[in-house]
Amino acid sequence: MSKQYFGAIELGGTKTNVMVADADNHQLAKKVFPTLSPDETIADICNFFKSTISSEGIKLESIGIGSFGPVDLHPESKTFGYITSTPKPGWQFVNIKGNIESALNIQTRIDTDVNAAALGEYSCKSMNTIKNMVYITIGTGIGAGIIINGNLVHGLVHPEFGHIHLPHDKRIDPFPGICPYHRDCFEGLASGPALTERWRMPADEIPQDHVAWDLEGEYIAYAVSDLICTVSPEKIILGGGVMHRYYLYDIIRTKTVSIINRYIRSKYLEESIGDYITAPRLKSDSGLIGALCLAVHADKPE
Amino acid sequence: MSKQYFGAIELGGTKTNVMVADADNHQLAKKVFPTLSPDETIADICNFFKSTISSEGIKLESIGIGSFGPVDLHPESKTFGYITSTPKPGWQFVNIKGNIESALNIQTRIDTDVNAAALGEYSCKSMNTIKNMVYITIGTGIGAGIIINGNLVHGLVHPEFGHIHLPHDKRIDPFPGICPYHRDCFEGLASGPALTERWRMPADEIPQDHVAWDLEGEYIAYAVSDLICTVSPEKIILGGGVMHRYYLYDIIRTKTVSIINRYIRSKYLEESIGDYITAPRLKSDSGLIGALCLAVHADKPE
């Protein structure tokens, strides 16, 4: 049997990563380009796969897509595989799965970008004994991929964890929030663009000693604590652009332990918090490797 | 083969329900008594089962226990089957599972009271097509049993949903909250005792036209919205003493739809909200029938 190759797409709010690899992540080709209009970006994606197929003389078994959301993941729905009510201009109700399938004539499996990233991280060997895991991304948007008993959580739709509501003391932080749907939900208060707007400077130019980071760590710690009280994860991975500020991890760990206040007793919280709330093992590759996992399991029931 | 009988215990913060029934919930004996000290209550429980076994001339296969929490549910832990850091006086670190097993010399299976109630509701025929379901109890305490892909969520510990933090605008509601661990967490703001203390009258004497209920509905709606954004349930059941105020359901439905603000698009939220956020089918029997489900599956791995 000749070697099997798979395609992987990580469609992000600002950039898109694509890759061709075998099931063990031996990579044949990889590319990144900015996410523009749906037409331009779908064309960029399809051109990458067509040219790789032709230059390498291979065929692809399937393609996995991790996309920014919300994505309609109900196979019986008329808009299955569409990006739906996203705030991203031009991308509302784009049939991302269908367009790629018909342009390339290939089976695909789609999930949200954060679900893909959670799958990627969960495929690491160190996760062997873990049943419940959460991957939270904090960047242009905020979202979470949640794995319970070894499987991704879907359901009514899929988690939209960036849109939970947290304590927001307007006397301390009068910033009203920037979410067009909810104003001061988690994403509205703590995403990269929220940092930029609150502090009137680009988020990546805010200095390390600025009060911004203590407040940012507090919102993230409240969200992490809410997750611990809701799905009881054995591992919490924090990724995304905002978390490139590595000192946030310790702020979040300390505040989470303080918020939980020893009500939930666990060695994870008491002894090994540094390993419990942690950075992605795969660094910025979690989503793309997760999309590869989706491709490898493209024939599993949705 | 002679008929098989099982024991069920619902150990609540204020009262304890016990039952002997077959796997189809044909009941042989049932009793309720106040939850007193651990010694007294464990004696009451054991006396009920001993006298039923002797008067009916039967034997029990196993007993299911749904207990107020937190409960240590890790079989490998030294305190497996103990109630741990509960605020209930006298009940910290009581070995409820071990004490009942050794007194009655019988296999038991333990879970939290809300997990048992969630199991009970999930055993109803109407749940056939539902994979993700949440049961929230709002009474003396607040908690949630969460079923994902047909299974209860356990993990680090188990959900302690009453202790999530919600938006709390102290300018509108200056009440500081009553949770001894977290002050103004969900339970600290919205449990029965919180209502009693905030409004300086017993919760069950607060009149229907009092502003209390709009605020109460708002906190519950924020919690429900957070759950929808986190685990994407296809059914949300609200039970417990506070929910005996039936008009709360409509307040919560309206506010939840308003908080989500059409960001998550689903017919459940748009057309059938009355069936989506709903009262327990089994009324006050959810927990006891769920404990029976635990007993019937007592030999499943924890």
pLDDT tens digit string along A139-148?
A: 988 999 999 9
Measured CA to CA, the distance from residue B71 to residue B164 in angstroms comes to 18
pLDDT at residue B204, rounded to an integer: 94
- Chain A, 108-167: which have a CB under 8 Å from a chain B CB? 131-132, 144, 146, 148-149, 151, 153-167
Residues of B in contact with A182 (CB under 8 A): 259, 261, 263
A267 touching B (Cβ < 8 Å): no
CB B299 within 8 A of CB B62: yes
- CB-defined contacts A:B, below 8 A: 172
**Does A37 touch chain B if contact means CB atoms closer than 8 Å?**
no
Please, what's the largest Cα pairwise distance for chain B?
66
Asked if A229 lies within 8 A of B160 by C-beta distance, the reply is yes
Identify the three-state secondary structure at position A137. strand
Are residues B153 and B133 in contact, defined by beta-carbon separation less than 8 angstroms?
A: no
- Fold equal for A5-113+284-296 and A125-280: yes
Query: pLDDT below 70 — which residues of chain A?
Result: 1, 156-159, 300-302
Q: Is B92 left (phi over 0), alpha (psi -120 to 50) or beta?
A: beta
So what's the pLDDT on residue B157? Answer: 66
Does A84 contact B at CB distance below 8 Å? yes
Q: Quick one: closest CA in A to B92, which residue?
A: A263
C-alpha span between B277 and B235 (Å, rounded): 7
Residue-wise pLDDT for A2-53, tens only, equals 789 999 999 988 899 999 999 999 999 999 999 999 999 999 999 999 999 9
Which among B146, B171, B230 has CB closest to A159? B230
Residue of B226, B232, B265 lying closest to A153 (CB–CB): B232
Strand partners, A111: A66
Say what the pTM is.
0.90
- Residue B3: the pLDDT is 87
Task: Give the minimum alpha-carbon distance from A62 to chain B in angstroms, rounded to a whole number.
Answer: 26
Contacts of A169 in chain B (CB under 8 A): 170
Determine which helix (DSSP H) or strand (DSSP E) holds A151, and give its type and residue range.
strand A151-152
* Topology at the third CATH level for domain A5-113+284-296: Nucleotidyltransferase; domain 5 (3.30.420)
User: Which residues in chain A are contacts of B68 at CB distance < 8 A?
Assistant: none
User: A231 and B227 in contact by Cβ < 8 A?
Assistant: no
Query: Does B262 sit within 8 Å of A85, measured CB to CB?
Result: yes
Nearest CA in chain B to A236: B156
Find the distance separating the first CA and the last CA of chain B, reported in whole Å: 27
- Asked if the Cβ–Cβ distance from B165 to A259 is below 8 Å, we say yes
Token pair of A53 as six digits: 């197929």
Contacts with A162 from chain B: Cβ below 8 Å: 229
Sheet containing B5-11, strands listed edge to edge, beginning at the edge strand earlier in sequence: B27-34, B15-21, B5-11, B60-67, B108-112
Inter-residue contact B134 to B239 (CB < 8 Å): no
Name every residue whose Cβ is closer than 8 Å to that of residue A228 and which is 6 or more positions away in sequence.
A236, A256, A260, A264, A269, B156, B160
Closest CA to A110 of A284, A281, A297, A240: A297
Q: What is the pLDDT of residue A44?
A: 97
Contacts of residue A289, Cβ cutoff 8 Å, sequence gap at least 6:
A8, A25, A120, A123, A282
Closest residue on chain B to A149 (Cα): B153
Going by the DSSP 8-state scheme, the letter that residue A3 receives in this structure is P
Q: How far is B213 from chain A (nearest CA, A)?
A: 20
Which residue carries 């993941």 as its tokens? A73
Asked whether the beta carbons of residue A132 and residue B153 sit closer than 8 angstroms, the reply is yes
A83 burial level (CB within 10 Å; 0-12, 13-18, 19+) = buried
Task: Report CB contact under 8 Å: B265, A144.
Answer: no
Among the four given CATH numbers 3.40.50.720, 2.120.10.30, 3.40.50.300, 3.30.420.40, the one describing domain B125-280: 3.30.420.40
| Domain boundary assignment for chain A | 5-113+284-296, 125-280
From first to last of its 302 residues, chain B has per-residue pLDDT tens of: 578 999 999 998 889 999 999 999 999 999 999 999 999 999 999 999 999 999 999 999 999 999 987 889 888 889 999 998 887 899 999 999 999 999 999 999 999 999 999 999 999 888 888 999 999 999 988 999 999 999 999 876 666 899 999 999 999 999 999 999 999 999 999 999 999 999 999 999 999 999 999 999 999 999 999 999 999 999 999 999 999 999 999 999 999 999 999 888 788 888 899 999 999 999 989 999 999 999 998 876 54
Between CA B201 and CA B211 the distance in angstroms is 13
- Tokens in use for A35? 């996410």
CB A182 within 8 A of CB A170: no
What is the reported pLDDT for B14?
A: 86
Give the separation between CA B158 and CA B111, rounded to whole angstroms: 9
**Residues 6 or more apart in contact with residue B24 via CB below 8 angstroms:** none
Which of B157, B158, B266 lies nearest to residue A157, judging by beta carbons?
A: B266
- Rounded to 5 degrees, φ, ψ at B80 are -60, 130
The sign of the CA dihedral B119, B125, B131, B133 is negative
| Alpha-carbon distances of B19 from A161, B57, B109, B124, rounded to whole Å | 40, 16, 15, 19
By CB atoms closer than 10 A (0-12, 13-18, 19+), residue B261 is middle
Contact, A135 vs A114, CB < 8 A? yes
CB spacing of A233 vs B146 below 8 angstroms: no
> Scanning the structure block, which residue is given the tokens 């904090």?
A138
Phi and psi based region of residue B68 (left: phi greater than 0; alpha: psi -120 to 50; beta: remaining): beta
**Smallest Cβ distance to B229: which of A149, A159, A170?**
A159
SS3 A150: coil
Do strands B15-21 and B5-11 pair parallel, antiparallel, or not at all (unpaired)? antiparallel
